[in-house]
Structure 1
Amino acid sequence: MTIKIGETVFFDAGRFCRIGAAIVLLGIAGCSSTNTSGPVPLATDAGPKDTGSFPNLNIKPQVAAPQFTEAERNAKLAELKADENAQGAKVGAANVSNQAALSDLAKKHGPQTLKQIEGKCDPALDPTCK
């Protein structure tokens, strides 16, 4: 009995899936491009060319942009170091004030949370508490 039900359910479902897949593939095959002029010809100047001589490897390649001089490099590095120091000073000052606030929060947060969890709510913390 179980085998017959399994055959009916799975093999019939498989047949419907195969038919559906065939319909989708036929639909996709029907959507061809509108270019019916034939294959696109390849470019004749593509690829390497035989010039009959060996390449000259002694020619320096052209650079994409002018190179930095030592003075320009040092000026850029000094500018970056100044920006780095200015950013570090801002973070250090803010970090000291945040540290005190965070330690104060750590001292208060645990007991407040435990009160709310245990049902001993404080109306100052939770106005909906009764």
Structure 2
Amino acid sequence: MTIDVGGTFFLRFGSISRKAVLAALVGVLLPAGGCTSTSTSNATPTAVTEGPKDTGSYPNLNIPPQVAAKQFTKEETAANLARLKAEQQAQAAKGGSVKAPANSAALKTLAKTHGDDTLKQIEGKCDPTLDPNCN
């Protein structure tokens, strides 16, 4: 008897359950149908077909930059690392502490005047004693 009641409730013409199932199917299948289109006109990426272009603006990221210097080989890298590690160990063997310079008065004077001298050079009012290339 329960099966008959459930069957008549669900299969009735205007039942709420039937409308809910129909709405759920339409709600799921309708949006999914819009995503199934295929187009071959835009299948290849533009970078593959056109290549780099000079747009006249800086920087042009389409053209790879030229290297400033040749890259180290693996042997050169290993040699430099070995040299640096040897220097590190030699420094650690000395005690590794930083000693104060012997002439601290000269360093204090330099610290007081260095900023002003640098500003004079930057502003074009350079001192020939500080910069021999000063005009």
Shorter chain as denominator, the TM-score bin is under 0.3
- Could you say which structure has the higher helix fraction? 1
TM-score (norm 1): 0.27
